[in-house]
């Protein structure tokens, strides 16, 4: 029996705003769709632990959806489904719409496919007291102590002396060995545990165990190192010098898994930012739109979007210009009419660490994909602060398609902060706002997201490009 609401209560319900849990508001059918969509996402995660692998997997999915490779100079026409690859580390899948490009612009979703990890140094290999190690230099913002005493896999490429390239991927399949960074036993860890968190494990202690078997020859000084070199030579044709031109990454060797009895959540390495890249890609691959739509999956966001594969690279602007020219449109007019979702993850409110969040403006788990009008730190510094007009426009798109979404800031004012690629797109005079999935334990070896938020992100992209 429900009590009849008072006039004031009804008025309050009408005028006030509160976030909603998407699982609670979703229909049975929609909830099934969330869980089904998560299966494809987990498969993508497992196949795409580095930007190179994510790029290759994206190309595979694009080709399966009938997209063909685009090169500068190619002709384009309405209805074309194409993809562009940048150095095997970035991919842009796009569909040409029927709307007049100078007037309608492009609908762009940008996300990144690099993730924090440990990169092997150029002179990495050494032997010490019966074990052989690889020295590393971490990539992106990590808590170093989280990367010890877990199974690691090695992924990457080696360019050999003769210029040929070999791929290495060891530690992902059952039966394959994994790699390991040691930590101190608590019995002897009293001094270590009294240190500040950043010093518990230091950068030069992130050395990966890769061997322990001495080569059977008394005359050799570094017997374990020789065993490892001998293996690498037989398996990949490598010698030690080839590490100079290698790009090897140590990543957690676990697959993505459902978390919780009810399987509502997904634990995995690299949700940041594949939990946005995969929905961006699948939205653009799967939907027909009158707009010209682009899913840009880029590299190097975790180290500042630098270099020729990061979002600051001129190549992404050149590609947009190339598409405009191929369609006979003036690029400046196209840019000015374009809209962009800069799609990156945000911090989910974590009840175990309540102190760093301001609850009213935190991303709550399962309350949908999250818009950040601005990012930055110390007074929004370094942020693209989206215009209210554009926020209103995107809000209307979501409203029209029944997207469950929320807004948030990353933590309390002055608790820290972060940045995304939004400002690099906005600098082109393209209306841009951040939108992405809330993540718990972001940048750890195993991050946590909600299936509801993943699916909400996908739905938001569909609404944006519709
Ligand atoms: Mn990110
Ligand atoms: Mn990140």
Q: What is the pLDDT of residues 121-144, one digit of tens each?
A: 999 999 999 999 999 999 999 999
Distance of CA 196 from the midpoint of ligand 2 (Å)? 23
64 CA → ligand 2 middle, Å: 29
Q: How far is CA 312 from CA 71, 262, 318, 434, in A?
A: 20, 41, 12, 17
Q: What is the pLDDT of residues 261-284, one digit of tens each?
A: 999 999 999 999 999 999 999 999
Residue owning tokens 């939907």: 287
Q: What is the pLDDT of residue 2?
A: 64
Distance, CA 389 to ligand 1 centroid (Å)? 25
Q: How far is Cα of residue 192 from the mean position of the Cα atoms in its chain?
A: 32
Q: How big is the chain, counted in residues?
A: 466
Residue 1 reports pLDDT greater than 60: no
Span 290-320, pLDDT tens digits: 999 999 999 999 999 999 999 999 999 999 9
Residue 50 has pLDDT above 80, yes or no: yes
d(CA 331, CA 336): 9
Q: How far is the CA of 410 from the centre of ligand 2 (A)?
A: 12
The pLDDT tens digits of the residues spanning 75-99 come to 999 999 999 999 999 999 999 999 9
Give the ligand with the smallest distance to the CA of 273. 1
pLDDT score, position 376: 85
Return the ligand number nearest the Cα of 372. 1
Protein fold of 19-115+269-465: Aminopeptidase (3.40.630)
What is the whole-number distance in angstroms between the Cα of residue 446 and the centre of ligand 1?
14
Ligand 1 is a single-atom ion; what residues have CB below 5 A from it? Answer: 272-273, 344
pLDDT category of residue 149 using cuts at 50, 70 and 90: very high
User: Ligand 1 centre and the CA of 115: distance in Å?
Assistant: 8
Nearest ligand by distance to the CA of 297: 1
Report whether pLDDT(416) > 90.
no
Task: Work out the mean pLDDT of the chain and round it to a whole number.
Answer: 96
Question: What's residue 287's pLDDT?
Answer: 85
**From-to residues of CATH 2.30.250.10 in the chain:** 118-252
Ligand nearest to the CA of 141: 2
**Could you tell me the distance, in angstroms and rounded to a whole number, from the CA of residue 127 to the centre of ligand 1?**
36
Ligand 1 mean position to 304 CA, how many Å? 11
3-state secondary structure of 437: coil
The structure tokens listed for 121 are 């140094």
- Angle between helical axes of 28-47 and 451-465 (0-180°, round to 10): 90
Tell me the β-bridge partners of 293. Answer: 95, 107
Measured distance between the N- and C-terminal CA atoms of the chain, rounded to whole angstroms: 42
> What fold is seen in the domain 118-252?
Aminopeptidase i, Domain 2 (2.30.250)
List, by residue range, all CATH 3.40.630.10 domains of the chain: 19-115+269-465
Do 361 and 419 meet the contact criterion of CB atoms below 8 Å apart? Answer: no
Residue 414: per-residue pLDDT: 87
pLDDT recorded at residue 3: 76
Q: Mean pLDDT over residues 162-185, rounded?
A: 97
Do residues 342 and 420 make contact, with C-beta atoms less than 8 angstroms apart? yes
pLDDT at 318: 98
Region for residue 199 given its phi and psi (left: phi exceeds 0; alpha: psi -120 to 50; beta: otherwise): alpha
Question: How does DSSP classify residue 339?
Answer: E
| Centre of ligand 2 from the C-alpha of residue 139, in Å | 11
| pTM value surpassing 0.85 | yes
Q: Which of 344, 346, 419, 375 is nearest to 114 (CA)?
A: 344
Nearest ligand to residue 112 Cα: 1
Is a pLDDT exceeding 80 seen at residue 248? yes
Give dist(CA 161, CA 145) in Å, integer: 35
From 57-61, 102-106, 216-220, 418-422, the region with the lowest mean pLDDT: 418-422
| Contact indicator for 75, 326 with CB cutoff of 8 Å | yes
CB 82 within 8 A of CB 322: no
């Amino acid at each position: 029996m429900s009590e009849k609401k008072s006039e004031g209560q009804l008025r309050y319900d009408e005028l006030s705003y509160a976030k909603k849990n998407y699982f609670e508001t979703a229909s049975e059918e929609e909830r099934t769709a969330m869980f089904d969509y998560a299966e494809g996402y987990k498969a993508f995660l497992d196949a795409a632990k580095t930007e190179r692998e994510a790029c290759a997997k994206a190309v595979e999915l694009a080709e399966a959806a009938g997209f063909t490779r685009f090169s500068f100079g190619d002709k384009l026409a309405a209805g074309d489904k194409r993809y562009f690859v940048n150095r095997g580390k970035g991919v842009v899948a796009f569909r040409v719409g029927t709307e007049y490009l100078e007037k309608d612009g492009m609908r762009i979703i940008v996300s990144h496919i690099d993730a924090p990890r440990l990169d092997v140094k150029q002179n990495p290999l050494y032997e010490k007291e019966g074990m052989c190690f690889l020295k590393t230099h971490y990539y992106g913002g990590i808590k170093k102590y989280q990367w010890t005493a877990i199974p690691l896999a090695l992924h990457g490429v080696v360019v050999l002396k003769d210029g040929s390239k070999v791929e290495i991927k060891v530690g992902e399949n059952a039966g394959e060995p994994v790699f390991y960074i040691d930590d101190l036993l608590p019995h002897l860890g009293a001094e270590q545990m009294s240190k500040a968190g950043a010093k518990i494990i230091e950068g030069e202690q992130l050395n990966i165990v890769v061997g322990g078997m001495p080569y059977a020859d008394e005359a050799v000084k570094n017997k374990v190192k020789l065993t490892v070199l001998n293996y690498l030579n037989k398996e990949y044709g490598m010698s030690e010098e080839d590490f100079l031109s290698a790009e090897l990454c140590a990543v957690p060797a676990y697959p993505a898994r459902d978390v919780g009895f009810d399987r509502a959540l997904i634990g995995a390495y690299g949700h940041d930012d594949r939990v946005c890249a995969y929905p961006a890609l699948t939205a653009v691959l799967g939907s027909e739109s009158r707009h010209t739509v682009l899913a840009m999956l880029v590299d190097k966001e975790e180290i500042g979007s630098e270099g020729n594969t990061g979002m600051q690279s001129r190549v992404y602007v050149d590609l947009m210009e190339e598409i405009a020219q191929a369609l006979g449109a003036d690029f400046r007019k196209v840019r000015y009419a374009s809209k962009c979702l800069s799609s990156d993850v945000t911090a989910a409110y974590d009840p175990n660490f309540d102190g760093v969040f301001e609850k009213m403006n935190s991303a709550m788990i399962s309350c949908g994909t999250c818009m950040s009008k601005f990012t930055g730190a110390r007074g929004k510094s370094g942020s693209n602060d989206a215009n209210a007009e554009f926020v209103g426009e995107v809000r209307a798109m979501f409203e029209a398609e029944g997207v469950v979404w929320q807004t948030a800031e990353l933590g309390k004012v002055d608790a820290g902060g972060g940045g995304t690629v939004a400002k690099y797109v906005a600098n082109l005079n393209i209306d841009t706002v951040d939108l992405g999935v809330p993540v718990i334990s972001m940048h750890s070896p195993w991050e946590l997201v909600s299936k509801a938020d993943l699916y909400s992100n996908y739905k938001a992209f569909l609404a944006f490009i519709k």
